[in-house]
Amino acid sequence: MCSDFDDRGIAVQRDEIWNTYIKLLVDPVLDGGHDFRHSDEKELHKQIWKAWRDAGVDNEVTIDDELVLSTGSSAARGSRIDFRIYHDDLHKVGVEVKSLGWWSEEGVEEQLVRYVETEQLDSILLLTADPDLADIEWSGTAEVPLFIVVLIGARCGLL
C-alpha cells in the first residue's frame, strides 16, 4: 500500500479509503504544528478535536464526540468510541485516541474489534502517542480497514 514518503516522512498511501476519508482527518493533526504534549488521554482527545476544528474539518464532515455504539454482539453493546466521522456519502470512520503507555496492543485490538462488531463503522483510524501500538496486527475484518498514525508528543506529568 505504501511506496514513497512525503516531506513529513509519512508513508504515502495509495489506498482509496485513506485518500478519500482518512487523510482529511490526519493532515490537520500532522501539519498543524502541534506537539501533542498531554497529561492524560482526555487532554490528547481535546487537542485532536481542536486541530480538526482549527483546520475546518468540522465544516467538511459531521463529527460525533464520545459516541456510544449500541448494536452488534452483547460484548460490543455500549462500546464508546472517541469520535465517529460521517462523510457526505455516509462512509463512517471511527477514530480512537490512545495516550502513551496505558494500553497493550492486545487490549486496543480487542477494543477496536468490539467497535467493528457494532456494524456502525466502515473504517477505523487509531491516533496514538504510543509507538508500540503501531505494531497492532489487525485481525478485525477486511471490510473495516484499520489505519494507525503515531503522533509526536509526550505524556507529561508526575511519575
Mean pLDDT value across residues 130-149: 83
Of 22-36, 48-62, 103-117, where does mean pLDDT reach its minimum?
A: 22-36
User: In total, how many domains does the chain have?
Assistant: 1
* Single-letter amino acid code for the residue at 140: G
**Nearest in space to 149 (alpha carbons), one of 101, 95, 106, 104:** 95
- Any domain includes 7: no
Q: What was the pLDDT predicted at 142?
A: 64
- Any domain includes 29: yes
Question: 93, 124 in Cβ contact below 8 A?
Answer: yes
Q: Phi/psi at 24 (nearest 5 deg)?
A: -55, -35
**pLDDT tens digit string along 34-93?**
667 777 778 888 889 999 999 999 999 999 998 888 766 666 666 889 999 999 999 999
Q: Is residue 11 predicted with pLDDT exceeding 60?
A: no
Range of the domain at 122: 15-150
- Any domain includes 3: no
